[in-house]
Chain A
């Protein structure tokens, strides 16, 4: 019930391409879904987040798509750049309870 499943484990995308990372959850009480970006030697940093009352949220080149009925959400990185090479974590939590449950992470490499 507390798991968040993330795929793929690793991803190689050419510069300018679209990176897509998928996550699925089981706990229907989850209502806040952030994505974190982590560079080597650094802590995770909030990238973008969504609540289930909207199906999509876009911030610059980053878009979250959310499918409440399927209990799935995904991160799309448009026009991927080498500087986007990092590990991306999806996460989920429920209102009033900030115990973030993280996915297992996706290591993204954007080739020049």
Chain B
């Protein structure tokens, strides 16, 4: 168990809808990351927050947004969903900024768009 908690574990929704994925980082970790894993794109970095502030942005669509709250939990909002958004979404956390600090992944949220 990595200590990173993600909810929901599975989600099925229709095209055009909006969903929110929730992440609780490991206790004490200030940095939260979101990744998308799909068969054709592999593991893609979406966005990183550190202590409530956005620190890095990757291949995140404009229809997607995220935030990190004062209690350090994070939410990834996916809107106007398309079939191609079906994927496994991972949250990860680490204690500090900077390469070399271990990044711990949650077990992911499976999103199926039908």
Contacts and interface: CB of A to CB of B under 8 A. Distances in A.
Nearest to B88: A43
B31 A43 contact: no
Given A99-B56, A101-B45, A46 B103 contact: yes
Interface stretch (B13-21, B65-73, B94-102): B94-102
B48 interface: yes
B105 A102 contact: no
Interface string B57-80: 010000000000000000000000
B98 A98 contact: yes
Contacts of B103: 46, 98, 100
Interface of B: 2, 4, 31, 33, 42-45, 48, 56, 58, 90, 92, 94, 97-108
Interface of A: 31-32, 36, 41-46, 49, 51, 89, 93-105
